[in-house]
Amino acid sequence: MNSSIEGILFNGQFPGPNIEAVTNDNIIINVINKLDEPFLITWNGIKQRKTTWEDGVLGTQCPIPPNTNWTYKFQTKDQIGTFSYFPSTKLHRAAGGFGGFNVAHRSVIAVPYPIPAGEFTLLVGDWYKTGHKELQQTLDSGKNLPLPDGLLINGVLKNAVFTGEKGKTYKFRVSNVGIATSMNFRIQSHTMTLVEVEGAHTLQEVYESLDIHPGQSVAVLVTPHGSVRDYFIVASTRFTKPILTTTGILRYAGSNTPALKPLPIGPTYHIHWSMKQARTIRLNLTANAARPNPQGSFHYGTIPVVRRLLLANTATKLDGKLRYAINKVSYVDPETPLKLTDWLNIPGVFNFNTIKDTPTPGPAVYGASVIGTALHDFMEIVFQNTEATLQSWHLDDTASMLLRKLYDQ
């Protein structure tokens, strides 16, 4: 991948600077848009308690025009965990503009594992030699995105180095910041103990490799226990042909010996393998997260479900462009932000009947698809993927619990 393309940097950095916060911190971030088109950043996983207009997505916030700025103000209220931030407009994310967002626990809250000797943030994702505007033109011509040209770890094509001392335990915070590609993560001759996924402590299962899908973040504990030398950190694509691979380096302090091949082998095309692994990731009900009470204190199974949604995603072409639709509606952002429309009761911007609770027959159409709910509604949502490719869903600012995963249904 010896080529030059325009990238999106923050303060001259690629990836952008990591944001290190603590539960309940007040966050103030001034974003100056020096691009030639409107731009937004979303804070992936931050719940935005009482600040939904700061989430950085179309519908709740207007894009930041070129050569202007917007100051985001929000709180990491009652949250801990490994997250990331990235552009939410167009295909800007393919050009960078992403970074880590880590929320540590308060000192008065215990964590269900010994405090690590150190932490590393790894931002892994697919990368294209083609610029984001050209990729957008590909979609607008009705074609699918091509296979990525490679994978990056913290903006580096290969051999980003992470150094630790033998016998000490380190937390690796790993996020998939790519736009389309699932990946498998592993460390040569080492196992990983999963301790947190998307801001929740998990039962501490041990893995030789982990599938991490676009937008997903995990935290694992790794203890260097082998001979003092370098070991490969490996990320490889899932469900693609050919398989793309990139490497980093876990370096023991004092090592003078380079990492030795072969690379550890990971899974390739097997969706069943990924589904089976996902079912092993379970919430730790007795551990504290951001608050003194255990994560299992809230008995969600006793709360009555007031509404059920079946959301089916489909690929379609509208006006010659490749579009995706949910329940046959392909979202178009109105000129007036939905948040402002709702607050001021502006008529004619959207209609709750545009999208139905279940899939409908017929061709896909454009629309401002808005699902109406009430505060404290407890809902059951079924996501149905009728496409031949794996799909990732992102639920902004919501607290959700996965009940089950089914294959081929």
pLDDT tens digit sequence for 371-403:
999 888 889 999 999 888 888 888 876 666 565
Strand runs labelled E in 88-243: 99-104, 118-127, 150-153, 160-164, 170-176, 183-187, 192-197, 200-201, 206-207, 209-212, 217-222, 230-237
β-pair partners for 121? 173
Residue 291 has pLDDT above 60, yes or no: yes
Query: Is the alpha carbon torsion for 138, 1, 388, 408 positive or negative?
Result: negative
pLDDT tens digits for 14-31?
999 999 999 999 999 999
pLDDT over 70 percentage in the chain? 96
Termini Cα distance of the chain: 39
pLDDT tens digits for 169-178?
999 999 999 9
State residue 388's pLDDT score. 84
Compute the average pLDDT of residues 296-320.
91
**272-295 b/e (C-beta count within 10 Å ≥ 16 → b):** ebbeebeeebebbeebbbbeeeeb
Count Cβ atoms below 10 Å from residue 299 Cβ, excluding itself.
7
Considering only CA atoms, which of 353, 364, 367 is closest in space to residue 328? 364
Three-state secondary-structure class, residue 300: helix
Rounded to 5°, the CA angle 188-192-197 comes to 135
Which tokens sit at 184?
């498998």
- Amino acid letter, 278: A
Rounded to 5°, the CA angle 257-260-265 comes to 150
State residue 404's pLDDT score. 55
Q: Which domains does the chain have, with CATH numbers?
A: 19-278 (2.60.40.420), 299-385 (2.60.40.420)
Give, in order, the Cα–Cα distances in Å from 91 to each of 15, 120, 237, 313. 16, 27, 20, 19
Compute the average pLDDT of residues 150-164.
96
CA atoms of 56 and 38, how far apart (whole Å)? 12
Count Cβ atoms below 10 Å from residue 181 Cβ, excluding itself.
22
From 163-167, 261-265, 333-337, the region with the lowest mean pLDDT: 333-337
Compute the average pLDDT of residues 197-217.
96
Residue 47 has pLDDT above 70, yes or no: yes
Specify the higher pLDDT residue, 299 or 150. 150
State residue 400's pLDDT score. 62
Please state the length of the chain. Answer: 409
Sort strands 19-22 and 230-237 into parallel, antiparallel or unpaired: unpaired
Specify the higher pLDDT residue, 230 or 2. 230
Q: Which long-range contacts (CB under 8 A, 24 or more apart) does 1-7 make?
A: 1/127, 1/129, 1/149, 1/150, 1/157, 3/129, 5/95, 5/128, 5/129, 5/130, 5/131, 6/95, 6/131, 7/95, 7/96
Q: Work out the mean pLDDT of the chain and round it to a whole number.
A: 93
From 61-65, 111-115, 243-247, 287-291, the region with the lowest mean pLDDT: 287-291
State residue 403's pLDDT score. 57
CA atoms of 161 and 335, how far apart (whole Å)? 46
300: left (phi over 0), alpha (psi -120 to 50) or beta: alpha
Specify the higher pLDDT residue, 392 or 194. 194
Chain centroid offset of residue 16 CA: 15
**116-147 b/e (C-beta count within 10 Å ≥ 16 → b):** beeebbbbbbbbbebebeebbebbeeeeebee
Considering only CA atoms, which of 211, 247, 196 is closest in space to residue 83? 196
Q: Quickly state the pLDDT bin for 74 (edges 50, 70, 90).
A: very high
pLDDT tens digits for 343-371?
999 999 999 999 999 999 999 999 999 99
Longest dimension (CA), the chain: 69
Give, in order, the Cα–Cα distances in Å from 394 to each of 5, 57, 76, 272. 28, 12, 18, 22
Chain centroid offset of residue 366 CA: 26
